[in-house]
Chain A
Amino acid sequence: MGRYVIRRLLQMIPVFIGATLLIFLMVNVMGDPIAGLCGDRQCDPATAAQLRREFGLDKPVWQQYLTYMGNVFTGDFGTAFNGQKVTELMSTAFPVTIRLTIVAVLFEIVIGITLGVVTGLRRGKPIDTAVLLVTLVVISVPTFVTGLLLQLLLGVEWGWIKPSVSTDANFDELIVPGLVLASVSLAYVTRLTRTSIAENRRSDYVRTAVAKGLPRRRVITRHLLRNSLIPVVTFIGTDVGALMGGAIVTERIFNIHGVGYQLYQGILRQNTQTVVGFVTVLVLVFLVANLLVDLLYAVLDPRIRYA
């Protein structure tokens, strides 16, 4: 187990370097970071040159990357062009997005798995067909439609929620945005759980559990569910990374000042430092989430642990 963790940690290094280098190149090579700074007018060449020198943009790209990475490891993600430290932006944005992600993941776990178990055990019954149909609709409709619709109905028409989230972004304000953010994944979790349950239900070890005279509840929770959740856990774990970075649409709709919002602003204003900084952290989040999933997988399935 220990060796496995070390090997996985070592594997993360090239992935991290590759991913960050790629985003660094994309942001730096594809557009001129200075161009956007002077508004609509062309920058005065002297000012531009001075800015370039100041930000180290006159150096070769590989040197910029190394300097940047060196700084990142000392906790310095640089300064945005407007003088705000990127770490400062992160410290306000990440807590908000983490809260949003927690709400979304809770929805996936509680509603997704429950629906999956219920439908998996009643395959072919009306409730199964109904839930299946709803998940199909949810998967097909883009998030911005679901989000805007819920905002309009619950927020504007019926007034059950505030249409836009305050800067505090407390948990209760994030319930509906969290549901919107989770919606597609939730539908996938439901389907994945359903298939897994339906498949394992006919398995020999479940028959054994019944033959042992265990109560139905115990057969389902301890024997059936435990085995069926292995693929679901993998999905949810990987999804955590995606939710953190993929909340751009949801955060825009509900005006949540989280990671997605800052990334959006950063891209819009060609704010290189912000974009690269946030993406670097997101790459790390993704890698750690995946590592945790793999470790959890080993905990859930002993056949992997000892392989």
Chain B
Amino acid sequence: MLLEVRDLHVEFRTRDGVAKAVNGVTYSVDAGETLAVLGESGSGKSVTAQAVMGILDTPPGKITGGEILFQGKDLLTFKEEERRKVRGAQMAMIFQDALSSLNPVLSVGDQLGEMFTVHRGLSRKDARTKAVELMDRVRIPAASQRVRDYPHQFSGGMRQRIMIAMALALEPALIIADEPTTALDVTVQAQVMDLLAELQRELNMGLILITHDLGVVADVADKIAVMYAGRIVESAPVHDIYKAPAHPYTKGLLESIPRLDQKGRELYAIKGLPPNLMNIPPGCAFNPRCPMAQDICRTDVPPLAEVDEDRRSACYFWRETLDARND
């Protein structure tokens, strides 16, 4: 297994109290595999990814438990300097907003080349050549001229390509893409996603795709982990989930996708709001919003039940949820 996150706990200690952002997340990705992590804002999907990358803001963030096994070694036991050498070289991250994530005052060539000068000890000139190659690879037209340009001179889609190029620079084993297409036009979203998927296949990388866009997930993911209030509530191969969700929250998410045949009817939305992470309700965190909630849901935290060989659901009533699919 390329990456295994086991029972990860992350807290943010602020003046107002302790926010429990991640509460026992377990997931894994293999080489060549795509894991989609799904969830609303504040569900802990990005925080988990930042913990894996080792770029969590500490303090206020703190990893309070769990293991992050990367190629069999627990990254949490690494010293910062060892960890730094893994970052960018063996695992890389693509961020949501390429305009703010790229340094506005350095040319894209400098920012791409930096990967090679720092990690590989290449000269500036060789690094520049590599930067042009990378830009070619992500299909930026006239790469040899544009390598001198600055981020603000590129279009949104091109900027995200540069982010992808930067992540791919040293051909890492794992890529974490944190909502890579959210900031883009719909027409460009597909292009960028296709490019990412293609490069992933080519280099046989593991990909963690953090998103709340269920449309994107269906196309590229192999398996899905759905997160809610810092926990995984359902994990399953992609087709199983779309066919029949085994958790009421997943079901709610799927039903809230607008469909053409619903035209004229009101859009479905899950009732209520995600919980405050400083004050997660007892029992199942989803119970106040859940249409199926019973007394047990309000007192006991449901364990991840085995629905199928590679499928889990953290719901006492996963059977009922599965069966209810034709309602």
- A interface, CB within 8 angstroms of B: 202-205, 207-215, 218, 222-223, 226-227, 230, 300-303, 306
**B39 CB-CB contact with A under 8 Å:** no
Instruction: Please name all residues of chain B whose beta carbon is closer than 8 Å to the beta carbon of A226 when the two chains form the complex.
Output: 103, 105-106
A160 to B10, CA, bound (A): 56
Q: Given the interface contacts A205-B100, A209-B103, does A306 sit within 8 Å of B153 by beta carbon?
A: yes
Instruction: Please name all residues of chain A whose beta carbon is closer than 8 Å to the beta carbon of B101 when the two chains form the complex.
Output: 204-205, 207-208
Instruction: Please name all residues of chain B whose beta carbon is closer than 8 Å to the beta carbon of A303 when the two chains form the complex.
Output: 104-105, 150, 152
| B90-112 interface with A by 8 A CB criterion | 92-93, 95, 97, 100-107
CB-based A-B contact count at 8 angstroms: 76
Contact A212 B153 (CB under 8 A): no
Q: Given the interface contacts A212-B115, A215-B118, A227-B104, does A207 sit within 8 Å of B55 by beta carbon?
A: yes
A307 to B104, CA, bound (A): 14
Contact B100 A211 (CB under 8 A): no
Contact B95 A208 (CB under 8 A): yes
**B84 CB-CB contact with A under 8 Å:** yes
Instruction: Please name all residues of chain B whose beta carbon is closer than 8 Å to the beta carbon of A222 when the two chains form the complex.
Output: 106, 114
Contact A204 B105 (CB under 8 A): no
**B53 CB-CB contact with A under 8 Å:** yes
Over the window 165-176 of chain B, the binary record of Cβ atoms lying under 8 Å from chain A Cβ atoms (1 yes, 0 no) is 010000000000
B: number of interface residues (CB 8 Å)? 29
Q: Given the interface contacts A204-B97, A204-B100, A205-B101, does A211 sit within 8 Å of B118 by beta carbon?
A: no
* Beyond A213-B89, A215-B118, A303-B105, 12 extra complex contacts between A and B, CB < 8 Å: A202-B57, A204-B97, A205-B100, A208-B102, A212-B87, A218-B118, A222-B114, A227-B104, A227-B105, A301-B104, A302-B150, A303-B104
Q: Which of B88, B107, B150, B153 contacts A213 (CB 8 A)?
A: B88
Instruction: Please name all residues of chain B whose beta carbon is closer than 8 Å to the beta carbon of A210 when the two chains form the complex.
Output: 55, 87
- B interface, CB within 8 angstroms of A: 53, 55, 57, 84-89, 92-93, 95, 97, 100-107, 114-115, 118-119, 150, 152-153, 166
A214 to B118, CA, bound (A): 7
A136 to B106, CA, bound (A): 35
Instruction: Please name all residues of chain B whose beta carbon is closer than 8 Å to the beta carbon of A207 when the two chains form the complex.
Output: 55, 95, 101
* 12 sampled A-B residue pairs with Cβ under 8 A: A205-B104, A208-B102, A211-B92, A213-B88, A214-B114, A223-B106, A226-B103, A226-B106, A227-B104, A302-B150, A302-B152, A306-B150
A204 to B89, CA, bound (A): 19
A97 to B48, CA, bound (A): 58
Contact A211 B103 (CB under 8 A): no
Contact B153 A215 (CB under 8 A): no
Q: Given the interface contacts A211-B87, A214-B114, does A300 sit within 8 Å of B105 by beta carbon?
A: yes
Instruction: Please name all residues of chain B whose beta carbon is closer than 8 Å to the beta carbon of A306 when the two chains form the complex.
Output: 150, 153
Q: Given the interface contacts A218-B118, A227-B105, does A211 sit within 8 Å of B55 by beta carbon?
A: yes
Instruction: Please name all residues of chain A whose beta carbon is closer than 8 Å to the beta carbon of B152 when the two chains form the complex.
Output: 302-303
Residue of A208, A209, A230 with highest tally of chain B CB at under 10 A: A208
Q: Which of A212, A227, A302 contacts B166 (CB 8 A)?
A: A212
A227 to B102, CA, bound (A): 12
Contact A213 B84 (CB under 8 A): yes
- The residue of chain B having its C-beta at the shortest distance from the C-beta of A212 within the complex is B88
Contact A205 B102 (CB under 8 A): yes
Instruction: Please name all residues of chain A whose beta carbon is closer than 8 Å to the beta carbon of B87 when the two chains form the complex.
Output: 210-213
Q: Shortest CB–CB separation between residue B70 and chain A, in angstroms?
A: 14
Instruction: Please name all residues of chain B whose beta carbon is closer than 8 Å to the beta carbon of A301 when the two chains form the complex.
Output: 104-105
Q: Shortest CB–CB separation between residue B147 and chain A, in angstroms?
A: 14
- The residue of chain B having its C-beta at the shortest distance from the C-beta of A229 within the complex is B105
Q: Shortest CB–CB separation between residue A295 and chain B, in angstroms?
A: 15
Contact B118 A213 (CB under 8 A): yes
Instruction: Please name all residues of chain A whose beta carbon is closer than 8 Å to the beta carbon of B150 when the two chains form the complex.
Output: 302-303, 306
